[in-house]
Structure 1
Amino acid sequence: MPRKSAKVPGGGSGRSAGDVILAPKAQYFLTSSSPQDGSSDWRTRDCSIHQIVDLGLHARNRVFRGSDVGKLRQRLIGEKLLSSHARGKRMLFKFSGGVWLGIHLGMTGKIRVESADYRPGKHDHLVLLQRERALVFTDSRQFGQVRFYHGSDEPDWWKSGAPEIISREFDRKFVDQFLDRHLKAPIKAALLIQNGFPGIGNWMADEILWRAKVLPSKRTTKLSARECTAIFRVTKFVVRRSLETLGKDFSDPPRNWLIHQKWKRDGVCPIHRTPLRHATVAGRTTAWCPRCQR
């Protein structure tokens, strides 16, 4: 079902785990190469200080489903971290020796840096220990996943993912084709599908739809050309702005964002203070403004 482009105003100017994937304090492990296309790609300054000296992991946890934990430990210890790449909620780490480690954050996953003597807590499923620090993957609900691959080229499961929202490949044609495959779904449900909108989670989906002035429960097939254009443009804006704030120092989004009102029982629209409404859409708690979104 092709859609025609329409001109709409550009996107205007809290946080829950599992929304758009952010680099794990990359300056500690990696140096940003600042690619011009906006992709999240880092390479190490000095590989000699990034050698994995030990692993801490909970081998029986479901985040390791489909992975050979024994081989992961055998192959990874002693190798050096070369680079990493983020795509939505997924992250790929490249090590020496042809070792690749993939992490999907799921709904509640987080990646953080700790001291070198850190030991895993209850929800810390993977700890990569180095001489000077440790990289920790935490996921309380275990909807995330750890994947392992050994080979000279990127694993197939990484190549097959959707393009990053801030990349040139994520264009109107891609979005329209994706939405055309989900015509019966509420638009919020479509935004949460990771092979179409990688990295978009609950709060960000609500932020996008509020800015695009689209009711979250509206079926994709009912969207107008103007609404489709607004969703595309605002999605780009929200993700890029989030990376500029959350991705650098984990600070909050600007105060005029919906997220600061979304979780409040008496939350109001940041524009004209209309009380927000709440309901469950696509199995997720959803907030919207009845005046802005119809």
Structure 2
Amino acid sequence: MPELAEVFYHSSHWKAARGERFELAWVHGKTRCCRGLDVDGLRRRLASAELLSGYTHGKRMLFAFSGSCFLEVHLGMTGSLHRLDPSQQEGKHDHLALRSERSLLVFRDPRQFGKLALHETLGGTLPDWWTALPPQPHEKAFTRTRFESLLQRRGKASLKGLLLQQDLFPGVGNWMADEILWRARLRPDRALGTLSEEERNALFEQLRWVCRKAIRIIGKDYSDPPKSWLFRHRWKDGGVCPVSKTALRRETVAGRTTCWSPAIQV
């Protein structure tokens, strides 16, 4: 499933068409990912509407068009955004497309776990629900004080399960949680309440570091992180920890397949 950095990357495709005027090319309103979409409203509102800007928050995207119109996009498990030549024909899993003179903006989702929704506001301001979203881990507003407040009354939670809670750490998914805990040298099944102050410091610092670096590397052009990251070694059985040079372990923690290094994570 696309996480914070991948979402940032996909949003850049559509954001590259800012200033262009679009109309609805096609939409499959009865597919699962479009069931909550106001198709008639979208067609009416996007009649020669200019793409003004795009925003990301965690695993969600919001695109602002002239006329106080906003298109919300959630990629789900297999969703992706594309900017194609306007003459491009519809693909098998292309559920929505917007066409301008220079671009075709496509939402593609083979498994249809993504989501599209139309929002309207007065005066073109961002929707209230968007501005009320909590700070993301890579932002300045995500302070150590905020971090500690989020951990209160969660002492029994496993670290892996905690990091996956989107209302606490928006955008952090399976691979990012594993990367954070590996760099903090913490077992994914450790209970939060067992951490020392030094370990809590490490968890906060690595949470911020991984999110920021992932956006700079993956969010820029979808490049893989360096081989020094767990990311490059976690995907299949038989992987070796790049620090300890010992075997990595793969098991289910918090309901998700988890990769960690028993030699360095305690």
Q: TM-score, normalised by structure 1?
A: 0.82
1:169 is aligned to 2:154: no
- How far is 1:65 from its partner? 4.2
Q: TM-score, normalised by structure 2?
A: 0.90
When structure 1 is superposed on structure 2, of 131-140 and 88-97 the one drifting more is 131-140
Alignment correspondent of 1:76: 46
Q: How far apart in 1 are the matches of 2:69 and 2:216? A: 30
User: Secondary structure of 2:252's partner?
Assistant: strand
Instruction: Please tell me whether the aligned partners of residues 29 and 35 of structure 2 are also in contact (alpha carbons under 8 angstroms).
Output: no
- Pair 62,167 (structure 1): closer, same or farther in 2 beyond 3 Å: same
Instruction: Please tell me whether the aligned partners of residues 11 and 54 of structure 2 are also in contact (alpha carbons under 8 angstroms).
Output: no
Q: How far apart in 1 are the matches of 2:13 and 2:93? A: 24
Select 1:26's aligned residue among 1, 4, 12.
Answer: 12
Alignment correspondent of 2:70: 100
- Pair 132,208 (structure 1): closer, same or farther in 2 beyond 3 Å: same
Amino acid at match of 1:79: A
Amino acid at match of 2:150: F
Root mean square deviation of aligned Cα: 2.1
- Pair 125,221 (structure 1): closer, same or farther in 2 beyond 3 Å: farther
Amino acid at match of 2:199: E
Superposition map of 1:102-141 within 5 A: 102-141=72-111
- How far is 1:240 from its partner? 1.3
Instruction: Please tell me whether the aligned partners of residues 212 and 234 of structure 1 are also in contact (alpha carbons under 8 angstroms).
Output: yes
- Pair 174,95 (structure 1): closer, same or farther in 2 beyond 3 Å: same
- How far is 1:72 from its partner? 1.8
- Pair 189,75 (structure 1): closer, same or farther in 2 beyond 3 Å: same
When structure 1 is superposed on structure 2, of 136-145 and 260-269 the one drifting more is 136-145
Superposition map of 1:147-166 within 5 A: 147-151=117-121, 152=123, 153-166=125-138
Q: How far apart in 2 are the matches of 1:172 and 1:141? A: 38
User: Secondary structure of 2:199's partner?
Assistant: helix
Extract unaligned runs of 5+ from structure 2: none
Instruction: Please tell me whether the aligned partners of residues 4 and 211 of structure 2 are also in contact (alpha carbons under 8 angstroms).
Output: no
Q: How far apart in 2 are the matches of 1:175 and 1:109? A: 30
User: Secondary structure of 2:105's partner?
Assistant: strand
Alignment correspondent of 2:28: 58
CA-to-aligned-CA distance 1:61-107 (integer Å, 9 cap, x gap): 22234332221222123201011111111111111011011112233
Amino acid at match of 2:142: F
Alignment correspondent of 2:59: 89
Where relative contact order (Cα < 8 A, 6+ residues apart) is larger, the structure is 1
Q: How far apart in 2 are the matches of 1:69 and 1:178? A: 38
- Pair 90,79 (structure 1): closer, same or farther in 2 beyond 3 Å: same
Instruction: Please tell me whether the aligned partners of residues 25 and 248 of structure 1 are also in contact (alpha carbons under 8 angstroms).
Output: no
Q: Aligned pair count? A: 263
Percent identical across equivalent pairs?
42
1:268 is aligned to 2:253: no
Alignment correspondent of 2:2: 17
- Pair 184,66 (structure 1): closer, same or farther in 2 beyond 3 Å: farther
Amino acid at match of 2:38: D
Amino acid at match of 2:174: N
Any runs of at least 4 consecutive aligned residues in structure 1 with deviations exceeding 4 A, and if so which? none
